[in-house]
Amino acid sequence: MTRSFDGTPVDDEWLDELCAEALWSPTAGNSAGVRLYTLSAEYVAAYIDVATDEKWRESSRRVEGLLRAGAVVLVTSRPQDYLERYAEADKVASGLSDRSNWPLPYWHTDAAMTTMALLLLLEESNWRATIWGNFRNDGIVLDWAGINDEELFAAILIGRGDGNDVASSSLGREVPSRHERVHRLTP
């Protein structure tokens, strides 16, 4: 992930097309409940302002680099689309028309798949990005963006990297290697 951008704006029409391509990602029951909202470079500062608080902006080592992103994409999901889809005749037996019956809410899974598809498309197009997880202020962001009846999954900040990323302290954590996390089953 790139967290320090050089200020190059992203072409709006190109980004809209790339987002449409990312929506080829899987969707449970063909529910099509993920939405992508693009914000031009001129709205990056306003997005950062509503997505964070003043204390974070004053203390973050990354805020200046993030403010130079060339665009933002908000990734949302519409749980009601999944509940309605799973109430249809071919899916009703699953019992998933009741939100409490979803052991894993696939609206989040589908949003994650679309997010990953978009990140890979951006990388393939020689753009850089960072995913801004939805840890706080989701209601404020949705209100600011005028989005109703949807859940904010994440935002993706996009741009050209300037080479001044501040390394994450998480990188120093001891974790199992990628190979240690792959297991072959032999039932």
Q: Where are the chain's structural domains?
A: 12-181
Query: Is residue 57 within 8 Å of 46, Cβ to Cβ?
Result: no
Question: What's 12-181's CATH class?
Answer: alpha beta
Higher pLDDT, 76 or 167: 76
Residue 5 carries which DSSP code? B
d(CA 170, CA 119): 20
**Residue 41 corresponds to which tokens in the numbers above?**
């470079």
**Residue 171 corresponds to which tokens in the numbers above?**
């990188």
pLDDT at 168: 82
Query: What's the predicted TM-score (pTM) here?
Result: 0.93
Residue 103 has pLDDT above 90, yes or no: yes
pLDDT at 79: 97
Query: Is residue 148 within 8 Å of 115, Cβ to Cβ?
Result: no
Q: Which of 12-21, 26-35, 163-172 has the lowest mean pLDDT?
A: 163-172
**Residue 105 corresponds to which tokens in the numbers above?**
């809410």
